[in-house]
Amino acid sequence: MREDRLLFAFQPVVCAATGKVDYFECLLRMRDLEGSIVAGGEFITPIEQLGLIGFIDGYVLEQTVRELANHPEIRLGINVSSLTACDGWWLDSLILLVRGRPDLARRLIVEITETAAFHDIEESARFVDTLHHAGCRVALDDFGAGHTSLRHLQILAVDTVKIDGSFVRNLADSQEKRILFHDLLVLVKSFGFTTVAEGVENAEDAALVRAEGIGYLQGYHLGPPTIERTWLWTAPSKAAAMDRASSRTLGTKSPALEPGSSSRRVSAR
């Protein structure tokens, strides 16, 4: 953080019906001393184990708000760790950052994991309510990976439910998976939540989840995480030129990143 070697990779969440990007999820990355990009999975877990994840969550929040202020045409999503979500200081910081800026608040999506949310459902419900009062959207991430409960879904009034990628990957190869995905989606939609399929890695799986009536898709098939601000490509501007110049200064070698099929969330686990 002191050396300014932390940065975001942005992955799109895309509307199943139109193909348009609804928002970009911000995934934390780090430049090593040689300038190469390091995935979050290689450094987030040790930071959590050291009890220092709050520093990262605060940094991610501040950088995301700055990004939203600089680019009023986009929405951005961030994850917050379960430990931080239970600590009032992070919420206080968010409220201060978006106070008097409703146009910015409504473009911020805060994602919390199912496991973290259901650990203390009443506290999580208060967390979600506070975010809503601040004007932000809230997404329940990795749904299905924890202990699903109808009561929990009723209490936790999020805007969006993101179905965990483990239920989405290789759907075309498994009738059992397709049945399970169908049942999860019916359950979520019965509560009126917006739905996202995570981990969409190929055209076959994308077609299957669209046919089931999913609202949005996220995964390498729709777009890998990239440090490039791809929303600037369709609207060349002075800001875009400045961003490209900044990327060259940072030593960016290529827009696409992340070998492998999974992405580390910003500061979630």
* pLDDT tens figures, 37-73: 999 989 998 998 898 889 999 999 999 999 999 999 9
Nearest Cα neighbor of 240 from 231, 250, 227 is 231
Stated pTM of the model: 0.84
Total tally of structural domains belonging to the chain: 1
Look at residue 1 and tell me if it is in a domain.
Answer: no
CATH number at residue 108: 3.20.20.450
Nearest Cα neighbor of 268 from 156, 95, 145, 174 is 145
Cα–Cα separations (whole angstroms), residue 251 to 42, 227, 246 = 21, 12, 9
Answer positive or negative: Cα dihedral of 146, 147, 148, 151. Answer: negative
Bridge partners for 163 per DSSP: 143, 197
* pLDDT tens figures, 183-212: 999 999 999 999 999 999 999 999 999 999
Q: Do the strands 194-197 and 216-217 form a parallel or antiparallel pair, or are they unpaired?
A: parallel
Residue 16 structural domain: 6-250
Kindly give, in sequence order, each residue whose CB lies less than 8 Å from that of residue 1, ignoring residues fewer than 6 positions away: 55, 56, 59
Look at residue 92 and tell me if it is in a domain.
Answer: yes
Cα–Cα separations (whole angstroms), residue 189 to 43, 121, 161, 195 = 36, 20, 9, 7
pLDDT-derived band at 156 (thresholds 50, 70, 90) equals: confident
> How many CB atoms are closer than 10 A to CB 235?
9
